[in-house]
Chain A
Amino acid sequence: MFGFDAIELARIQFAFTVSFHIIFPAFSIGLASYLAVLNGSHLWTGREVYLTLFNYWKKIFAVAFGMGVVSGIVMSYQFGTNWSVFSDRAGPVIGPLMGYEVLSAFFLEAGFLGVMLFGREKVGARAHFVATLMVAIGTLGSAFWILSVNSWMQTPQGHAINDVGQFVPADWWAIVFNPSFPYRLVHMVLAAYLTTALVVGAVGGWHLLRDRTIAGARTMFSMAMGMLIVVAPLQIFAGDLHGLNTLEYQPAKLAAMEGHFEPHPEGGAPLILFGIPDAANETVRYQVEIPYLSSLILTHDLTSPLPGLTDFPVDERPPVGIVFWSFRIMVALGFAMLGLGLWALVLRLRGKMYDHRWLHRTAIAMGPAGFVAVLAGWITTEVGRQPWTVYGLLSTNDSVAPVEAAAVGSSLLAFIVIYFMLFGAGTFYILRLMGKGPGSAPPMGDLGPTRTAGVTPAPAADNDFIPTE
C-alpha cells in the first residue's frame, strides 16, 4: 500500500502513535508533580496564589491527561496488533513489567484523578493534597516501569531463551535494573520536568508581558525559571552519563550519534559539530569539527579506542542521518534551556526578572522546546537501536505481525487523520486556557464537569466503600 510493505507501515504507525503519545506524558509527568507542589505549598503556607495556580493548571492538566490516557490505551494494543511475533517472544519478560505499570501506576493516577479534579470540597484540603500526590506518584511510577521495559529492549539481560524461541525471565532484578535503565529513567524524568518548566515559564512570561503585576504570573514564572537553573545542568550531566552507557552497550548507536564512520583505535576522535552524513560513501560531508573533543568527552582521555560504524556489518547499522541530526537538535536545545535558566538567574539577582521583556519573550519562544527535545531524544535512541527490537537478539523484521499491508496502511491513515484532528483541537483548547491567565474570572456558563452532592465529606480512612447510598 502506497509503495510500502506491511513492515514499513507497521513501523511508521508505531512511530506515529508513540510519538504523539509521548508528548502528553512528557508534559503530565512534570505537571502532576508541579500540581502536587502547588497544592502542598498552599497547604503549608496558606498563600492564596498557590491555590489559584493549582486551579489554573489543573484544568490544563485535565485536558492533557485525557489525551494521554486515550493515546496510551492505543499503545497497549499496538504491540499485539502490529508486532505480534515480538509480543509472543518478548511477552514473558516485558509483559509483567507493563502489568506492574498498570497495577501500580495507571490505576493510582486514574483512581485519584477524579478526586483531584472534582473533589476538593468533598474531601477537604488535606485529603485533596494526598490525592494530588497520588496522581503525581502514579505518573512517576508509570515512567519507572515503561522505561524499564524500553531499557531492557535496548540492553537486554537476565533472560534465557526457551525451546519455542521466547525470552523467558531468569533474574527479575537483572531484567528490571538492566544496564541502561537508571540513566534512561533519570534522563526522561528530568526531561519531563524541564518540558513542564518551559511550558509554565512560557505561560508566565506571556502574562507578565501583558501585566507584570499579576501575582500568579510572577509566581509561576519565578518557579519555572528556578526549576530550569536547577534541572538543566543536572540534565546535561545525566545525558553525558547516558551517552557513556550507550558507548559501552550500544556502540553502533553512539557512532551514529557522533557521525563516526571510521573507528579511532588510538583515540583522539574529533567532535563533529555539524555535517551531512553520507551513509553510502561512509563519510560525513562538510563537517565542522573540534579535534580530540569527542574522545575527551566519551573516554576522558586522548588514547582510548573509539569504535566507528564501519566496525559493524552494513545491515546492523542504524540510519545515520536521522540519529546524527536528532541528537544535535536535542543537545542544542538542552544548552539553550541552560542559557535561559542562567539569564533568568542573573536578572533575578539584579531584581529585574519580572521586568525584562526580552527574557519573557525568550521564555515564550522556548515554551515548546521541551517537547521538541523529548521527541528528538526518543528518535535518537529508538532509531539508533535499529535494526533491532531486542538489541542484538531479535530484529525488527522478525517482530512484525502477520497482518496485511492494506490493513496496516488504512489504520495508519485513520490514526494520522484522527490524531491530528482531535489532538489538534485539544492543543488549541489548552492554548486558549493558557491565554486566559491565572486569576482572571471564568466567563459565566463556563462550568466544567461536576461532582455529586455527598452528605458529608468522607474521611480518608473510611472503610465503608459503597458506591451508592
Chain B
Amino acid sequence: MVFDLAFIWAGLIAFAVLAYVILDGFDLGVGILFPLMRTEAEKDLAMNTVAPVWDGNETWLVLGGGGLFAVFPLAYAVVMPALYVPIIVMLLALVFRGVAFEFRWRTKRAKVLWDLSFFGGSLVATLAQGVALGALVQGIAVEGRAYAGGNWDWLTPFSMLTGVALVAGYALLGATWLVMKTEGPVRATAHRLSLWLGGATLALVGLVSLITPFLNPLYLERWFSFPNALFSAFVPALILIAAFVFHKGLREGRDAWPFLSALALFVLSFVGLGISFYPYMVPPSLTIWEVAAPDESLWFLLAGALVLVPMILAYTGYAYWVFRGKVDPATGYH
C-alpha cells in the first residue's frame, strides 16, 4: 500500500492526544496549584490566565475519544470498558472543574466551594488520566473482540506511579505557565514551585521509564535493540538539554523558557511512549492495523482532517495570540 492509512491515523490520534496533554495539562496544572495561591486576587489572576482557552484545550480530549471511536473503533471498544473506573472518575472530575470556571464568579458565599471544586476536579482528573495511561502501558487482557479482564485490573502500583507522575508533570506545566503569564506574587509563588516540580517530574519520569521496559519483553527489546537503541540514547540527552534550558530560564528571568522546556519534556516522554507502543494500539495484543476501521472510513475522515486540522491550529493560534502576554490583574469580565 502506498499510503498506510492506519499508520497515518495512528500518527494523527497521537498528535491529538499530545496536543491535549500539553494544552489541558497546563490548565489542569493551574487547578492543581490553586490552593497554593494565597489571596483571592491571586486565585482570580491564576484562573484568568486559562479562562479564555480551557474550552478549546479540552476539545482535544473529545477529539482523542471521538477520533479513536471513528478510526480505531475496536481499540475504543476494548479500552473504555477496561479503563471504566478511571475514565468515569476523570469525566466526573472534569465536570467539577469545568463548571467552576463560570460558577465561582457568580457567587460570593460559595466561592470557596468552587475553588475546592476547581482544585479537586483538576487533581483527580489528572490522577485518573495518569492511572489510565499506566494501565494501558502495562497491558490489557483481550479475548476475541472484547475486554476480558475485571473491573479493577487497572489498579496496580505501576499505574499509581504513573498517576502521581502525571500530577507532578501537569503541576509543572501549570507553574511554568503562570511564570510566563503573570507578574507579582503569583509569578513568585509559581517560580519557587517550578524548580521543585521540575525536579520531581524528572525523577518520576525517570522511574517510570526504568520500570516500563521490564513490564513487557517487547518494550525491552524495542529500547535496547538496534536501531531504537540509538534513539533511546538520545532521549536522555535531549531531556538533559531541556532541563538545562529550564533552569537557566528560571534563574535569568526569561519567563517563557521554563514553560517551553517543560513542553519539550512532555513531547520527549510522549515520543518515548510511542516507541514503546508501536505497532500496538492496545498492548500486548492489538496492533493499529487490527483495530483500524475499514479504509473507506479512514479516507472519509482523513480528507476532512487534512483541511480542518490546519484551520483549527490557525484559529486556536489566533485565540492564543489575542490573549498573549502577561495578564493584567485589573481587567474584568465586563
Contacts and interface: CB of A to CB of B under 8 A. Distances in A.
For B61, B80, B304, B317, which residue has the most chain A Cβ atoms within 10 angstroms?
B80
Interface in B180-225: 180-181
Contacts of A357: none
A414 interface: yes
A315 interface: no
Interface string B68-90: 11110110111111001101100
A387 interface: no
B73 A465 contact: no
Interface stretch (B30-38, B95-103, B161-169, B239-247): B95-103
Nearest to A441: B334
The main secondary structure of chain B at its interface with chain A is helix
Interface string B121-164: 00000000000000000000000011100110000000000000
A403 B154 CA distance: 14
Contacts of A73: 58, 61-62, 65, 91, 94
Given A85-B146, A96-B300, A403-B81, A114 B59 contact: no
A447 to B, nearest CB: 3
Interface residues of B, number: 89
A162 B80 contact: no
A301 interface: no
B301 interface: yes
Interface string B55-68: 11011011101111
B80 A84 contact: yes
A357 B70 CA distance: 53
Contact of B332 (A89, A114, A448): A448
B59 A107 contact: yes
- Range of interface residues on chain A? 35 or more
A278 to B, nearest CB: 39
A402 B81 contact: yes
A95 B73 contact: yes
A66 B98 contact: yes
A89 B325 CA distance: 48
Contacts of B304: 99-100, 103-104
B147 A467 contact: no
A71 B323 contact: no
A168 B296 contact: yes
A452 B322 CA distance: 8
Contacts of A74: 91-92, 95
A352 interface: no
A393 to B, nearest CB: 16
Contact of B66 (A98, A425, A449, A451): A98
A386 B49 CA distance: 47
Interface in A322-376: none
For B51, B150, B180, B300, which residue has the most chain A Cβ atoms within 10 angstroms?
B300
A107 B58 CA distance: 10
B111 to A, nearest CB: 11
B285 interface: no
A172 B101 CA distance: 39
A80 B49 contact: no
Interface string A71-82: 111101101110
Contact of B328 (A110, A448, A453): A453
Contact of B51 (A99, A118, A123): A118
Contacts of A81: 80-81, 84, 87-88
Contacts of B145: 88, 164
A293 interface: no
Interface in A379-402: 401-402
Contacts of B70: 91, 95-96, 98-99
Nearest to B74: A88
A80 B297 contact: no
A200 to B, nearest CB: 20
B49 A429 contact: no
A311 B323 CA distance: 62
Interface stretch (B227-235, B268-276, B307-315): B307-315
B151 to A, nearest CB: 5
14 contacts: A76-B66, A79-B69, A80-B65, A92-B296, A95-B73, A96-B297, A98-B70, A103-B63, A104-B304, A111-B316, A419-B95, A450-B332, A453-B325, A454-B325
Interface of A: 55, 59, 62-63, 65-67, 69-74, 76-77, 79-81, 84-85, 87-93, 95-96, 98-104, 106-108, 110-115, 117-119, 122-123, 134, 162, 164, 166, 168-170, 172, 401-404, 406-407, 411, 414-415, 418-419, 422-423, 425-426, 429, 432-433, 442, 445-455, 458, 460, 462, 464-469
Given A91-B73, A107-B56, 17 more contacts: A80-B81, A90-B73, A92-B294, A95-B297, A100-B304, A101-B66, A110-B56, A110-B59, A112-B319, A113-B56, A402-B81, A414-B88, A418-B96, A425-B103, A451-B48, A465-B317, A468-B256
